[in-house]
Structure 1
Amino acid sequence: MIEQIENRIVERLKEGLGEIVREVKSYGGELDGDDLFNTIRAMPSIWVTYAGASLEARSTSRSRYLEEHRFVTMIAVQSVRSEESARKGGAYKYEIGTYNLIKAVRYLLTNQTLGGIVYRGLKPTGIRSLFNHYIVQRNALSVFAIEWSAVVDNSQLLEDGAYPEITDDPNHKDYWFNEFRRTALIKPFEDLHEINAEIKDPTYDPDSAAKVEMKHITRDSALQNNILDMLKGKKDE
């Protein structure tokens, strides 16, 4: 999910900004290396990175979590004129300033669910300066970071003692585990096809019973166990 959100942020900014910037991609240490001069030549640039998460249980069984993931979009601009031009832009239309890009990135990302995977959409939580008044080989550098909150409702958790399932479906939540040799993989639960039950009302006619046949096809192991436990409890009463 983390990779999916980051990739979709990158894709949306690429499509939304077009030729306004020279590159939009996941951050790969461009500001940390020794080759800062070549990094500057590719500006204006936007880099996206993951900054961690906070998790909150949303059910008493802790089978569902609300995950607040934090992402950062770094906006980097250089100017041969001045540090002020790097922030505010210049007279030429392609002399884009970081202030313009901050506004554009917020406009493109705020409240976006990225195809329905972010609960209630991306929320900006802060803007901070990373580089200001910084000169590299006569180039003024301006870099700002916009921090984002991406809330995900995650109920795809393993039951106690369970392991990922064997699957060849690339869209299955356990598919990644199947790409490696592992001993702790289990076969999928068999389909639950039907349940037969009798309902009696002793206050009306103890000997009469309404037969109920419920049919449901599912591989949801938690649902199967809940139904079987319920029927077992009724039998013991």
Structure 2
Amino acid sequence: MITTIETALCDRLSQGLGQMVNSPVVTWNVLATDIGTVFRKLPGVCVVFSGITGTKAVGSSREKYLVSGRFSVFVANYNLRSNEAVRHGGPGFEEPGCYRLIRCVRRLLTGQDLGIEVDYFRPEAVRPVAGSAFNEKAVAVYECVFSTQWVELALDNGHWPAPEVPDEPDADFAHWHGRIEKPAPWHESSRLAYTPPGAAGPVAEDIIKNRGNDDD
């Protein structure tokens, strides 16, 4: 799910920001990357998974858990004219400025579910990222934090993953030779029987086939 969310965030921001940024929005840990590499792509935006902040059971079930997670969108810009121009932008088409980029990022993501099975994104803090390397290159970087929630399904107690098709998440266990078990057999039909009180046996019964097995 984390990869799915990151990909969806990058796609929406790339489409929405257009030529405000000099390259498509990608996942990139800007804090762990040499600033010279980032500098060649500015103004730019990147997405980073910031972590899971909480997990709680849904109702009394041990099968479903509601997961809360945070994602950070880093906005980076540079302008050799002045420190103010880095933040406020300038008259040129190539000078959007950090503050305009921040507004546009929040506008594009707030209240969106990105077409995937997550709760609407909620905007949180926006904070500057300090660093001497940034200052030396006339670069300003801001982190825009968003939170969302999604549901994770747990395995039945004592069981192992049982992937059925190659593109499901649990197929990772089979691909990397982890322990798995056979999928449960397909439920083909259900037999219903009605036995009145005192009767020796059922007086009515029926078999209901699973529609997934109908030939027609």
Matched, 1:211 2:205: yes
Distance in 2 between residues matched to 1:173 and 1:132, nearest whole Å? 38
Amino acid at match of 2:130: F
Q: Is the contact made by 1:132 and 1:142 (CA closer than 8 Å) also made in structure 2?
A: no
Aligned length: 208
User: In the alignment, which of 143, 146, 157 is matched to residue 144 of structure 2?
Assistant: 146
- Give the corresponding residue for 1:57: 57
Structure 2 counterparts to residues 29-68 of structure 1, below 5 A: 30-33=30-33, 35-53=34-52, 54-68=54-68
Q: Secondary structure at the match of 1:131?
A: coil
1:181 paired with 2:177, answer yes
**1:109-161 deviation digits (Å, cap 9, x = unpaired):** 11221223212x2111221121389521xx4221111111121122x321111
Q: Is structure 2 residue 197 aligned with structure 1 residue 197?
A: no
CA contact (8 A) 2:62 2:154 kept: no
Structure 1 residues 158 and 196: alpha-carbon distance in aligned structure 2, compared to 1, 3 A threshold: same
Alpha-carbon distance between aligned partners in 2 of 1:115 and 1:128, rounded to the nearest angstrom:
28
Q: CA 1:107–1:124 in structure 2 vs 1: closer, same or farther (change >3 Å)?
A: same
Contact 1:130 1:143 (8 Å CA) reproduced: yes
The secondary structure found in structure 1 opposite 2:3 is helix
1:162 corresponds to = 159
Question: Matches of 1:197 and 1:41 in 2, distance apart?
Answer: 69
Deviation at 1:83, TM superposition (A): 1.3
Query: Cα offset for 1:170?
Result: 2.8
What displacement does 1:201 show?
4.0
Shift of 1:78: 0.9
Unaligned runs of 5+ in 1: 219-237
Paired letter, 2:141: V
Checking the alignment, whether the CA contact within 8 Å between 2:75 and 2:143 is kept in structure 1 is yes
Aligned to 2:121: 122
Instruction: Provide runs of 4+ in structure 1 moved above 4 Å.
Output: 205-208
Q: 1:66, 1:174 → 2: CA distance?
A: 19
Segment of structure 1 superposing worse, 53-62 or 94-103: 53-62
CA 36–170 in structure 1, closer or farther in 2 if over 3 Å, else same: same
Alignment gaps of 5+ in structure 2? none
Q: Deviations over 1:22-60 (max 9, x none)?
A: 1321123x4444x42342232111111111111111131
**Residue 84 of structure 1: aligned partner:** 84
Give the TM-score, by structure 2 length: 0.86
Q: Deviations over 1:82-105 (max 9, x none)?
A: 111111001212111111001111
Give the % identical residues: 29
Separation in 2, partners of 1:160, 1:38 = 47
Q: Partner letter of residue 60 of structure 1?
A: S
Larger Rg: 1
Distance in 1 (CA, whole Å) between partners of 2:141 and 2:174 is 41
TM-score normalised according to structure 1 size: 0.79
Question: Are 1:128 and 1:145, in contact at CA under 8 Å, matched by a contact in 2?
Answer: yes
Amino acid at match of 2:173: F
Q: Aligned pair in 2 of structure 1 residues 32, 194: CA closer, same or farther (>3 Å)?
A: closer
CA distance in 2, matches of 1:49, 1:166: 29
